[in-house]
Amino acid sequence: MRIGLLRETAAREHRVALVPATVKRLVQEEHQVLVEAGAGTAAYFTDQEYLDVGATIVPTAAAAADGADLVAKVQPPDPGQVTSFKRGAVLVSLLAPHVNGPLLDRLATAGVSSLCLELVPRTTKAQSMDVLSSQATVAGYQAVLFGATKLGRFLPMLTTAAGTIVPGKAFIIGAGVAGLQAIATARRLGAVVTAFDVRPVVKEQVESLGAKFVEAG
C-alpha cells in the first residue's frame, strides 16, 4: 500500500498523524510511506527521523498524496489538497463532519472514502482508534497547567522560614476522561481538589485520585 502523510496547515496545530515509530511498523509490513517535508517538525520529529525508518520525504502535500491509497492527516484537508487525492483513495483524519459538509461533498465527488476518526464507535474492539479519549486526556492535563499559570498563587502548600502558604483549591466540573486527568494533575501539583459530576457512579474514581466528590442535590 502507498501511504501519504501530509503536513498540518491549521493554525496552532502541532500534531502529526503518523510518528516515526508507526511509520517504521508500516514500512516493515512492506508499505510505502511518503512524508511531506516538515510534516513532523511541529511535533518535534525531523525529516531525518522519518528517513531513518524507511519513509520517503517529498517536497509538497500534492507529492505525498499523489497516487496514495491512504492519506493520513490530523485536521481535515484543505479543499485544494483534495484535488491531489486519487479516486479510490481513503482519507483517515478528524473531519468535524457537523461543520464540514461542503468538504465531505467534495471528497465524495472526488471518489475519496473518508474515515472520520471522531465518529469511530468507542467500543473495546476499536479502543486503539479512540482518538477522543487520548485527546481529552491531553486537554484535562493542559487545562490545569494553564489555569495554574493564571491563578496568581501557588497550588502546593509551601512552608519556609518566612511562613506557610496554604495550598490552592481546584474545582473540577465533570469526571469524564478530561476531568479525571485534570483531577490527577491538580493533585500532583499539590492542590486541594473537589469535583462534581451528574453521574454518582464516578464518585469512587474521583476519590481514588485523592479528590473530594461533590454530590448533586
Instruction: Tell me if the pTM is above 0.85.
Output: no
Residue whose C-alpha cell is 511535533: 43
Backbone torsion region of residue 88, taken as left when φ is above 0, otherwise alpha when ψ lies between -120 and 50, otherwise beta: left
Length of the chain: 217
CB 123 within 8 A of CB 132: no
Q: Give the residue ranges of DSSP H helices in the chain.
A: 20-28, 47-52, 61-65, 79-82, 101-109, 131-151, 177-188, 203-208
List CB contacts of 52: < 8 A, sequence separation 6 or more.
20
Q: Which of 101, 114, 108 is nearest to 73 (CA)?
A: 114
Per-residue pLDDT tens digits for 98-122: 999 999 999 999 999 999 999 988 7
Average pLDDT, whole number, for the chain? 94
27-76 residue pLDDT tens = 999 999 999 999 999 999 999 999 999 999 999 999 999 999 999 999 99
What radius of gyration do the chain's Cα atoms show? Answer: 22
Positive/negative CA dihedral, 7, 13, 19, 20: positive
| High-pLDDT (> 70) share of the chain, % | 100
